Structure 1
Amino acid sequence: MKFLNIKFFLLFIMPYMAFSQIEISGKVQDKKEVLPFANVVLTNPDGSIVAGVVTDEQGNFVLSAKEGIYTLIVNYIGYNEWTKQINLESKQVFNDIVLEQKANTLKEVEVVSRKKVIERKIDRIVFNVENNISASGGDALDALKVAPGIRIQNNEIVMIGKSEMKVLIDGKIMELTGEELSNFLATISADDIKTIEIITNPPAKYVAAGNSGLINIVFKKGRRNSWSNAINYSHVQADYGYSSLGNNFNYNKNKVKFLFNINGRYGDYQEIEHLEVFYPDGLWKTKLKRVEEQRNLSGRIEFDYDLSKRTTVGFQYMRTGQRPDMRDGSVTKIYNNNQTVDSLLVTNGLTDVKVYNNSLNLHFATEMDTIGRKLTIDLDYFDFNSSQDRDFKTNSYTSSYDFLNLITSANNKIGQEISNYSARIDMEHPINGFNLSYGGRISFSDNNNNPEYYNTITGSPVLNEQLTDIFEYKENTGALYISGSKDITAKWKTQLGFRYENTSTKGVSKSLDQTTKNSYWKIFPTFYLSYAMNDNNDFSLNYGKRINRPNYAFLNPFRFYVNSNIYSVGNPFLQPSFTDNIELSHTYKKNLTTNLFLSITTDGFGPLFLVNEQTNEQIITRENFFNLYNYGLTETYSFNEIPWLESQNTLSLSYSKSDFYNKNVIAQEQNGAAFYFSTFNTFLLNKSKTLKGQLNYWYSSPSKSMLFKNSEAFSVDLIMRYSMMKDNLQIAAGVYDIFNTGPAKLTSYINNIEQTYQMYDTNRYFRMSLSYKFGNKKIKGGARDSGNEEERKRAGI
């Protein structure tokens, strides 16, 4: 009832806040079709500008002003200017503003301009991937690594100075985390990505998940009146190598928009991990080498059909199949108190892995009138299925590799099936210069896990029933939201929103005969205020509240063994955590942005690396155990004053303070400051602008946060790209992390035992890519924003 009262208050009271503004709306077209991105300007009799907008993809515009006499002007390249004097006393609608082509206009005009690599909007940063050559031939992870303010740490995507972010694909959240999310993003070609939107405080329309906000990966779409086809090939070579091949076909004519995309990868990928545990009776030092096969195939189909000028229906289908089979070997050196090697534990394993997922979106959108009212409906389904069958064996040896005895021989199987159904309805409803939107979403998720553990030390598998289980988890979420934005004056803009989410969960462990239920609701407010002081200075203030729900694997209470003395176990009693984000920003001349931020997380949860001194077992578990405060300053500067150089630079100073309130967690809180700097520089190397180079560098200082001390790390990349045949054929080559200094070492102190960890994946490598595109620009084509927004990431798809 509280939420309904808020909703009705906003619906009926907030529009009257704009009583002094009168709305002007309309549609711009020529004799054949609508004209998107036309300039619409309202001026005073003296010629000074009162307001201005550009038309949307359907040619619609809405602006507002006080009562008075004005001139409405519409401009579009290749057309005669349209003007009309108006006496604004009440709302005015211009349904059909028809522009006439200039008599001397060429039959076909192609306007070529260079978009900025980074664009800033009131609620997000837009990173134009297609203008950054370092991601050429790579995958979505490679593109994220060079996105402003984003880092990949231990398979998590984090905002520098803050914490984890959720990932959306064309507006749909991927319910995956950690390694599963990384594997999925590796199936997406960076050459298919148009932009990456970094939304640190998402509006109320978006799901409330994600501590530090959302990252929306937007695919390229077909150009209007055209068809095109792009073929991409790349090869990555490190100690091991893999190749990727993809094809992207777009068709966009009249009422039909169609896209077909397919990508495949084949080869091997290596990871090396170093782990040290300082037990009271001596050091255990482990080196693990893992080689993962790259056998990935993914595809996407999109189809939209215009039922009328105002109504569109369509669907999007995505499928990913992966066979990341793994072979691994580890050696653990066991030291005595004299710091000499006493004995060795050698583990070898083989893991057969199968992963696939399907995603289907059905959508309907209609413009209800010419003043901007628009209804959108999305129906979504996705499933995720994975199976792992791992055989591993651990032997004990003397320090000189003489065999002592067999410690463990086992088979560990785990299957996971996740399905999600969701429906979403959104309404855009301008009222008297006030842009109102509201809607709702329902989501139903089922997750089933069935871990099995077999002892094979005798040569025949024997089921260990204490380590075998069927874990079923159901989660239902309902949400309502309302949001409104208003241009208070020509300089002041504001946006306010509220999102209500109600969640109920049920987890059942069959072997433990244990049922865990949970139900909770929360209201998530968002607020934005911006002030354009003059042409050179813009200020903004925003606030948002977020939720972070445990992913499904964290809730499974059964053990999964990495080797004989390391296992992972979930916690069905985990509760969601909540984060409040506040940001104050200033932008100077559209190039230099200063951002002050404060992020407060309560009831945070995460992995704990515990040690059993009696058994020398290392246990990875999950608990709600901390409150976290992150605050700091970020400076970003874009330099493009020299014709042959474009430079994007970021500097961040932050401080992290944590409070471990869970008395079961005996660990030292790691509080301290951090410094980060990055510079990405693109050079034109010839007069014809066909040869470009890019030099990238980033540095991360030693830092402390939560459980860990982080060592310093830095990376240097050098990439070259050559374009031929009017940019239709492009060849790129580069060396990444030239000095192999990117991975940081993590140190923690839990239960008074020091542990260090460092992972080297395929960090230093050479990549070569080839891209060829062709098509017809003369024939007749937006990104979908639909449901399933939170469920995918938590599932690990």
Structure 2
Amino acid sequence: MKKLPLLIFLVLPLFCLAQSTFKLKGKIASETKFLEWAEVSILNEEGKIITGTTSKADGSFEIDLKKGLYRIEISLLGFTDLEKEISVEKDIDLGTVILKETTTNLVEVVVQSKKKTIEQKTDRLIYNLENNVANVGGDALSAINTAPGVVVQNNTINILGKGTSRVMIDGRIIELTGEELNNFLKSISAADIKNIEIISNPPAKYEADGFGGLINIVMKKGVRDSWKNSTTVSYDQNKYGIFTLRDNFFYSKNKFRLSASVNGKTGYKNVDEISDVYFEDGLSNLNARTKAKNENLSGKLALDYDFSEKTTVGFQILNDRNNPDFQSDIVVKKYNAQNQLQNYIVNNSFADRASGNQTYNAHLITKLDTLNRKLSFDVDYFNYNSKFDREFTANNYLADGSFVDVNQSGRNISNQDIDNLSFKADMEHPLQSMNLSYGAKVSFTNSISDVLFYDTITGTPVLDPNQSNRFKYTENNQAVYINGDKKINEKWKLQLGLRLENTETTGFSETLNQETANNYLKLFPTFFASYKKNDNNTFSLNYGKRINRPRFDLLNPFRIYISSNSYAEGNPFLKPSFSDNFEFAHSYKEILRTSVFVNLITDGYGVLFTSNPETSTQIITRDNYFKSLNYGVGESYSASFAEWWQSENSLYFLGAKTDFIKDINATPSNSLQIDFTTNNTFVLRKNTKLQIDFNYSTPFKSGLYEIGYASSFNIGFKQDLLNKTLQIALLANDIFNTSYLKDFTSVVNGVKQVYSNNESNRFVRLSVIYNFGNKKINVKERNFGNQEERKRVSN
């Protein structure tokens, strides 16, 4: 198995197979003259850009294509885009193609044939943000939350009925999860996002990790031979205020492209938490109010250079820094069996926290021939570090408010450092009989976390070795994949894939002198089939096997005390979970989409809120304790009730059957969950839009837990000024303050626990966006432009 990383890169031969090609040519003109620099893109039936060029001074263009069905897209700044389906079976001359001039003159192509908000592809759903006013002035996390079938709650991103999702940017996985991932996504401007791909059952090319599939954020690219700058200022007002400033710059000339962005945020938010634990001898009630500092500074720099029309090299750097300090006031009240207050604990704490991550990427993409064979290499390095310093004092009081003694007084210091280095190679290899792709990836992860606890009850800090720990974790992953798709005829298309992943992990607790190793080699098959009955009806069926690996911090066995009778601990023996995912879908005119899905989860792991009734102690841990069958039906409907009213609606019915595979002294229960969302955009005037969104999810039971309802009602308004170079937007989010996690209930060992967490989703946001630039830079020579980069992003 140790030789596998070397063997991986021996499976990437470059084949040379002769295939016949045909020429597609034509000329592009306005009503008065031929047009130079018009972008000509060729897309396959899945909507992916496979090749392209730009028109010459006389408006002419020429592209080599093999036999097949394609879509040609022609665009030029100041003109309305043109799209056309073409069937290539011989040389084709389109003659002179006339583009209609638009009435406005903007810094980039923003006036064009209106994109559909939702586009259904064979293996993914594409969500275009531009039609949703609520995303103006927002960030990537809020944009994901407006995507169909996706819910963001309590630091997790879920595809409904599937589970927690991994996130990619331009096809590259983000090595963050939970709160750290959310903070990173908040540093990305929604205005920079072209679209969001929801891949509920990813093909073999992508990582197999994550039950909820993948969410790919596709970033915008600038217009060829131009420069632009966009500045956004926004202010959110909740109980406290948050100020955000973003600036994004793009420059393209000849073979060179540069993009840079800087994002800054400062302010505070309010977090309220309630926890009720019903012990036999009485209720323990915790109320926590936290004033959380929201301070962030991030930036991105990306460079790409076209060595030729076939080869592009580039690199990018992302840097994100956060300083989310917390001032918390916690009150724990203890009642007797007659519900009379006996005593209470007041815990005042301040946490100085700082975290940062850096991502470095270098890539090479080369087109090998006119048959669209393409080879790409990526090298990625990722580092995440965090520092946490918390000082607290917890005092005991009698019911009448009389001071008794100090319950706890201490200082927690923790540090975490994660490094990840990965190498990836991908080959797209179209054949006469099918489109073939294959590749390999190796990834090396190291994580070190330190926890120090000082007892300060005497006023002098004393290190407590029983509450101090150092945990080291390594994870090495090697993967190879092969994927093939074939169009059998005009109605049937098939795609088959197989991914092999080998994982080796080691966790070591220095304090406990405990080491845990886990090695496993797994196959992850995928299958997709689509049938186009006619122009109105398309059916598809897909299957994929996936894995859900535990986060590094969940494997740390060390016990961290929240109070003298409440603690959390990791589980070094936590194993990955596996799922088999089936989905059947139907699309009617791309307006009404129906999906029926089933997921089988084995060795499922999750959080356990357990307790010890004898000592009235609350324990929070994780374990592989269940298996489940999850199923559901989803309906989405896109409607234009009038030229001024566009509506996107979805309705999901979700259910599950859960069995416990470990004795946890609890009984599983499940119920139906219904989730309804409607997003409505109203064009009040040519440059004025109103957005009204509503979401409601019913209370439901799932295995060990019962979860309360959640809903959100939002109103957004956008006004375009100065030919859309200036935009002003106002958003009232979660007006009734009902979108938070509430009544999260479990019963273990006969003890009922109920938890709620409100993270200030209700706010009013005012945003101002100013765009300026030069739509055309004088260039010394004509070259291919940014089509290769666009192809890389579209994959």
Task: Give matches, 1:260-275, under 5 Å.
Answer: 260-275=260-275
Residue type of the alignment partner of 2:439: G
Aligned CA RMSD, in angstroms, stands at 3.3
Structure 1 equivalent of residue 771 of structure 2: 773
CA 1:293–1:65 in 2, change beyond 3 Å: closer, same or farther? closer
Asked if 1 retains the 8 angstrom alpha-carbon contact of 2:409 and 2:455, the reply is: yes
Asked if 2 retains the 8 angstrom alpha-carbon contact of 1:53 and 1:62, the reply is: no
Residue type of the alignment partner of 1:604: G
Residue type of the alignment partner of 2:737: N
Residue type of the alignment partner of 2:748: I
Q: Specify which of 22, 36, 60 is matched with residue 40 of structure 2.
A: 36
* Counterpart Cα distance in 2 of 1:105 and 1:696: 35
* Counterpart Cα distance in 2 of 1:750 and 1:75: 59
* Counterpart Cα distance in 2 of 1:565 and 1:695: 46
Q: Specify which of 41, 49, 56 is matched with residue 51 of structure 2.
A: 56
What SS does the corresponding residue of 2:295 show, helix, strand or coil? strand
Asked if 2 retains the 8 angstrom alpha-carbon contact of 1:494 and 1:529, the reply is: yes
Task: Give matches, 1:271-310, under 5 Å.
Answer: 271-310=271-310
| Alpha-carbon shift at residue 25 of structure 1 (Å) | 5.3
* 1:39-98 deviations in Å (ceiling 9; x for gaps): 899xxxxxxxxx9997634586755369xxxxx99885799x9x9x9997xxx8x7xx89
Identity over aligned pairs, percent: 42
TM-score, with structure 2 as normaliser: 0.89
What SS does the corresponding residue of 2:642 show, helix, strand or coil? coil
| Alpha-carbon shift at residue 560 of structure 1 (Å) | 2.6
Bigger drift between 32-41 and 122-131 goes to: 32-41
* Counterpart Cα distance in 2 of 1:661 and 1:416: 33
* Counterpart Cα distance in 2 of 1:52 and 1:246: 31
| Alpha-carbon shift at residue 373 of structure 1 (Å) | 0.5
The yes-or-no answer on 1:344 pairing with 2:348 is no
* Counterpart Cα distance in 2 of 1:708 and 1:75: 50
Residue type of the alignment partner of 1:415: N
| Alpha-carbon shift at residue 444 of structure 1 (Å) | 0.5
| Alpha-carbon shift at residue 240 of structure 1 (Å) | 1.1
Task: Give matches, 1:152-231, under 5 Å.
Answer: 152-231=152-231
CA 1:344–1:296 in 2, change beyond 3 Å: closer, same or farther? same
The yes-or-no answer on 1:313 pairing with 2:313 is yes
* Counterpart Cα distance in 1 of 2:579 and 2:216: 19
* 1:355-403 deviations in Å (ceiling 9; x for gaps): 0111000000000000010000000101000010111111111223221
Structure 2 equivalent of residue 732 of structure 1: 729
Corresponding residue pairs, total? 753
Structure 2 equivalent of residue 240 of structure 1: 240
Q: Specify which of 756, 759, 780 is matched with residue 758 of structure 1.
A: 756
CA 1:587–1:87 in 2, change beyond 3 Å: closer, same or farther? closer
Asked if 2 retains the 8 angstrom alpha-carbon contact of 1:23 and 1:65, the reply is: no
Asked if 2 retains the 8 angstrom alpha-carbon contact of 1:633 and 1:654, the reply is: yes
Structure 2 equivalent of residue 570 of structure 1: 570
* Counterpart Cα distance in 2 of 1:75 and 1:648: 26
| Alpha-carbon shift at residue 706 of structure 1 (Å) | 2.3
Asked if 2 retains the 8 angstrom alpha-carbon contact of 1:172 and 1:785, the reply is: no
CA 1:522–1:122 in 2, change beyond 3 Å: closer, same or farther? same
* 1:74-126 deviations in Å (ceiling 9; x for gaps): 885799x9x9x9997xxx8x7xx898767999799976221111111111111
TM-score, with structure 1 as normaliser: 0.89
Residue type of the alignment partner of 1:759: N
Asked if 2 retains the 8 angstrom alpha-carbon contact of 1:479 and 1:499, the reply is: yes
Structure 1 equivalent of residue 408 of structure 2: 408
| Alpha-carbon shift at residue 713 of structure 1 (Å) | 2.2
| Alpha-carbon shift at residue 611 of structure 1 (Å) | 1.2
What SS does the corresponding residue of 2:233 show, helix, strand or coil? strand
Bigger drift between 125-134 and 105-114 goes to: 105-114
CA 1:55–1:475 in 2, change beyond 3 Å: closer, same or farther? closer
* Counterpart Cα distance in 1 of 2:708 and 2:559: 31
Residue type of the alignment partner of 1:208: A
Moved over 6 A (4+): 29-34, 51-54, 72-75, 85-88, 97-110, 783-786
| Alpha-carbon shift at residue 11 of structure 1 (Å) | 11
Asked if 2 retains the 8 angstrom alpha-carbon contact of 1:335 and 1:342, the reply is: yes
What SS does the corresponding residue of 2:188 show, helix, strand or coil? coil
Structure 2 equivalent of residue 638 of structure 1: 638
* Counterpart Cα distance in 2 of 1:233 and 1:615: 53
Residue type of the alignment partner of 2:743: K
* 1:317-351 deviations in Å (ceiling 9; x for gaps): 10001110111011112111111211111111111
Asked if 1 retains the 8 angstrom alpha-carbon contact of 2:237 and 2:764, the reply is: yes
Structure 2 equivalent of residue 723 of structure 1: 720
Structure 2 equivalent of residue 666 of structure 1: 665
Structure 2 equivalent of residue 710 of structure 1: 707
* Counterpart Cα distance in 2 of 1:104 and 1:179: 48
Asked if 2 retains the 8 angstrom alpha-carbon contact of 1:228 and 1:775, the reply is: yes
* 1:491-543 deviations in Å (ceiling 9; x for gaps): 11111100000000111111111111111011101111011111111111011
Bigger drift between 535-544 and 616-625 goes to: 616-625
CA 1:457–1:500 in 2, change beyond 3 Å: closer, same or farther? same
Asked if 2 retains the 8 angstrom alpha-carbon contact of 1:212 and 1:581, the reply is: no
* Counterpart Cα distance in 2 of 1:250 and 1:629: 48
| Alpha-carbon shift at residue 32 of structure 1 (Å) | 7.2
Bigger drift between 707-716 and 747-756 goes to: 707-716
**Structure 2 residues without counterparts, runs of 5 or longer:** 28-34, 55-62, 778-784
CA 1:245–1:342 in 2, change beyond 3 Å: closer, same or farther? same
What SS does the corresponding residue of 1:134 show, helix, strand or coil? helix
* Counterpart Cα distance in 2 of 1:614 and 1:754: 15
Asked if 2 retains the 8 angstrom alpha-carbon contact of 1:528 and 1:543, the reply is: yes
* Counterpart Cα distance in 1 of 2:555 and 2:44: 54
The yes-or-no answer on 1:697 pairing with 2:694 is yes
* 1:765-793 deviations in Å (ceiling 9; x for gaps): 1111111111111237436969xx9xxxx
Asked if 2 retains the 8 angstrom alpha-carbon contact of 1:469 and 1:510, the reply is: yes
CA 1:766–1:586 in 2, change beyond 3 Å: closer, same or farther? same
Structure 2 equivalent of residue 794 of structure 1: none
Asked if 2 retains the 8 angstrom alpha-carbon contact of 1:541 and 1:584, the reply is: yes
Bigger drift between 494-503 and 402-411 goes to: 402-411
* Counterpart Cα distance in 2 of 1:104 and 1:606: 56
Structure 2 equivalent of residue 47 of structure 1: none
Bigger drift between 302-311 and 607-616 goes to: 607-616
| Alpha-carbon shift at residue 568 of structure 1 (Å) | 1.8
CA 1:174–1:87 in 2, change beyond 3 Å: closer, same or farther? closer
CA 1:61–1:40 in 2, change beyond 3 Å: closer, same or farther? farther
